[in-house]
Structure 1
């Protein structure tokens, strides 16, 4: 019996090397178990300081009046700069008054940055001032002035007077009064186009489509301003079908040549032809080849000098574009204007023309410019 107890005891203590004995299977008799979750003790956690509570309380306080003043001042200064830019007073942006005002604004903002309750609003005001200041807004104004050429603040009265010259420097203003008016050019172009379209359709069966709209671009007067003259670009016309046969191209141009002759214009001049006077290498570069049979573009021209009207008649032929480079050019043009990729196209351009409605005013203004041209 004693041996049994010794064996049982040895089972618990064998190999423990001095450690407390493990409990018997099933645990000790009448042992109590702790109910609920056991929360491990926390060591080293500091007790909340009274200063932390005070800091949180201070953080919840609203910004002081100085912070709002800095923000409002920054916004008002930005608005002043933008309004000055909008009215075109570029010189004012670099004036002593504006620079002094900017220094005051910066001083207010920087001073507010050192206050705990105004620091946030001051930072916002500083950001606004960094974006809208004399340097940035003044730079935008300088670029705008450079693009438009309006340096009014730096021009003398003589320069401003020259800028308003109604004619074009280097040309006799009487030429604009003696040559065809804008309305006469438009009327002649419309009549010329109508007859050419009718003849081409009757003889070759080609139909037509309008390309683009009429465009009037003011001509510069050579003194930094705009003259009263305009460059006229007519509505364009194009055939809806390609013209690729060499003989047909020659016949079509001959038909146009006969029509312009009936209108008193000189014969068509071929820029792409061998007798154009252009270097053959340049012809190949511009039109795809020196040989008209292999060219992707034929360009013909005539005018009614000394009147300003110029007629251009071009034939585009993509069958003579082995590399596909010219096709890309035509596709880009088609995307801009909607014109057909191939076929015959015509347009009239007239430079430095004066509208009949402006002739009286033009002559009146010329009285202030004796000897100008």
Structure 2
């Protein structure tokens, strides 16, 4: 027989598992709860002792800071040159040794790491590079030059040109006036002969020559404005006729006849002639160029005939158009320019003679 009372679960909800018997299941264990801290008991706090940096770490830190200050002082005092001296290199090796020694010790490792960071930021390479950039930007290259070197840099003349040669030649103002007269006469002759009109571009400019000892000379290089025909000149025979008329003017002024620079006969290789003027064959060149002077007179005349239509690549046309945009000169035509070097201005003559007296034997 089935006992109906035993076949039914005893619980508050239908389908719920039976409740444990009184006293729990046989063999069951309970996790023991941690004993509560008795009220009023004192809490003991354990202090972990701090590790103090040793003397070696401090020495490395102070040395790296002092070395950085020394580098900046050397850079400010003389640019990049003193930074790369042997003394500074030895000091850097000593500082590097101290840093490595500090890193190898437990108590000096932290300060050694800080010293290493300072040394990586401020060393011969980084500070020297900054000094070189500053010197390049300001034009100050004195460095640790001797007084004799600085004296040579201040030489007012140009190495290889004697004081007598400078004083005996025409002044800057005379050359400028002679050049203006020469170009005026050439323009007038070519206008009378061929009916050309002219356009001026640019302005006369001067710049000081280098003296050959690393400094700037009192002598100057002069470049005139440019005069270019408004009309194109594309016929090669006409270019030769223009050169012949200019030769007549030059002969009247005791100057040499025009010398062609766009020919291998000038001493330039055929490859270089082709690169500069478009072709080794004169008849196919986009630029003809002549030169004349009256040596030892410093005045030099340059005559160029620009004809970019003869350049199949279009490079000459683009170059001349860029020049036109920059200076306003015509893209095509015959151009006149005066250049003269190592000129002494009349207003500088007295000072030049005085300063040259400080350089006997130069």
CA distance in 2, matches of 1:132, 1:339: 53
Q: What is the aligned partner in structure 2 of residue 19 from structure 1?
A: none
1:327 equivalent in alignment to 2:313: no
Q: What is the aligned partner in structure 2 of residue 135 from structure 1?
A: 125
Q: Higher helix fraction: Structure 1 or Structure 2? A: 1
Asked whether the 8 Å contact 1:283–1:289 carries over to 2, the reply is no
Gaps of 5+ in 2: 1-63, 97-112
Q: Deviations over 1:235-292 (max 9, x none)?
A: 2222233211223222322332233333332222222358x45468357514334543
Q: What is the aligned partner in structure 2 of residue 22 from structure 1?
A: none
Once the 2 structures are TM-superposed, how far is the Cα of residue 183 of structure 1 from its aligned partner?
A: 1.1
Asked whether the 8 Å contact 2:291–2:301 carries over to 1, the reply is yes
1:303 equivalent in alignment to 2:310: no
Q: What is the aligned partner in structure 2 of residue 265 from structure 1?
A: 255
Asked whether the 8 Å contact 2:171–2:344 carries over to 1, the reply is yes
CA distance in 2, matches of 1:102, 1:283: 51
Q: Deviations over 1:300-332 (max 9, x none)?
A: 111121111111000010121122233344345
1:281 equivalent in alignment to 2:289: no
Asked whether the 8 Å contact 2:208–2:217 carries over to 1, the reply is no
Q: Secondary structure at the match of 2:144?
A: helix
Q: What is the aligned partner in structure 2 of residue 364 from structure 1?
A: 354
Q: For residues 336 and 136 of structure 1, do their structure 2 counterparts lie closer, same or farther at Cα, with a shift above 3 Å needed?
A: farther
Asked whether the 8 Å contact 1:209–1:239 carries over to 2, the reply is no
CA distance in 2, matches of 1:345, 1:307: 22
Q: What is the aligned partner in structure 1 of residue 302 from structure 2?
A: 312
Q: 1:143-154 residue pairs with structure 2 within 5 A?
A: 150-154=141-145
Once the 2 structures are TM-superposed, how far is the Cα of residue 155 of structure 1 from its aligned partner?
A: 2.8
Once the 2 structures are TM-superposed, how far is the Cα of residue 186 of structure 1 from its aligned partner?
A: 1.0
Q: What is the aligned partner in structure 1 of residue 58 from structure 2?
A: none
> Please, what TM-score do these two structures have when normalized by structure 2?
0.64
Gaps of 5+ in 1: 1-73, 107-122
Q: For residues 306 and 100 of structure 1, do their structure 2 counterparts lie closer, same or farther at Cα, with a shift above 3 Å needed?
A: closer
Q: For residues 336 and 130 of structure 1, do their structure 2 counterparts lie closer, same or farther at Cα, with a shift above 3 Å needed?
A: farther
Q: 1:185-204 residue pairs with structure 2 within 5 A?
A: 185-202=175-192, 203-204=194-195
Asked whether the 8 Å contact 2:201–2:328 carries over to 1, the reply is no
Once the 2 structures are TM-superposed, how far is the Cα of residue 208 of structure 1 from its aligned partner?
A: 1.2
Q: What is the aligned partner in structure 2 of residue 214 from structure 1?
A: 205
Q: What is the aligned partner in structure 2 of residue 252 from structure 1?
A: 242
Once the 2 structures are TM-superposed, how far is the Cα of residue 77 of structure 1 from its aligned partner?
A: 10
Q: For residues 81 and 190 of structure 1, do their structure 2 counterparts lie closer, same or farther at Cα, with a shift above 3 Å needed?
A: farther
1:355 equivalent in alignment to 2:356: no
Q: What is the aligned partner in structure 2 of residue 224 from structure 1?
A: 214
Asked whether the 8 Å contact 1:231–1:352 carries over to 2, the reply is yes
CA distance in 2, matches of 1:265, 1:244: 27
Q: Deviations over 1:196-218 (max 9, x none)?
A: 23333344232313135413232
Asked whether the 8 Å contact 1:234–1:347 carries over to 2, the reply is yes
1:181 to 171, 175, 186: 171
Q: For residues 348 and 76 of structure 1, do their structure 2 counterparts lie closer, same or farther at Cα, with a shift above 3 Å needed?
A: farther
Once the 2 structures are TM-superposed, how far is the Cα of residue 92 of structure 1 from its aligned partner?
A: 6.5
Q: Deviations over 1:139-196 (max 9, x none)?
A: 2324665895834414353x33222222222232211111111111111112222232
1:233 equivalent in alignment to 2:232: no
1:293 equivalent in alignment to 2:283: yes
> Please, what TM-score do these two structures have when normalized by structure 1?
0.62
CA distance in 1, matches of 2:65, 2:324: 48
Q: For residues 370 and 249 of structure 1, do their structure 2 counterparts lie closer, same or farther at Cα, with a shift above 3 Å needed?
A: same
Asked whether the 8 Å contact 1:317–1:342 carries over to 2, the reply is yes
Q: What is the aligned partner in structure 2 of residue 53 from structure 1?
A: none
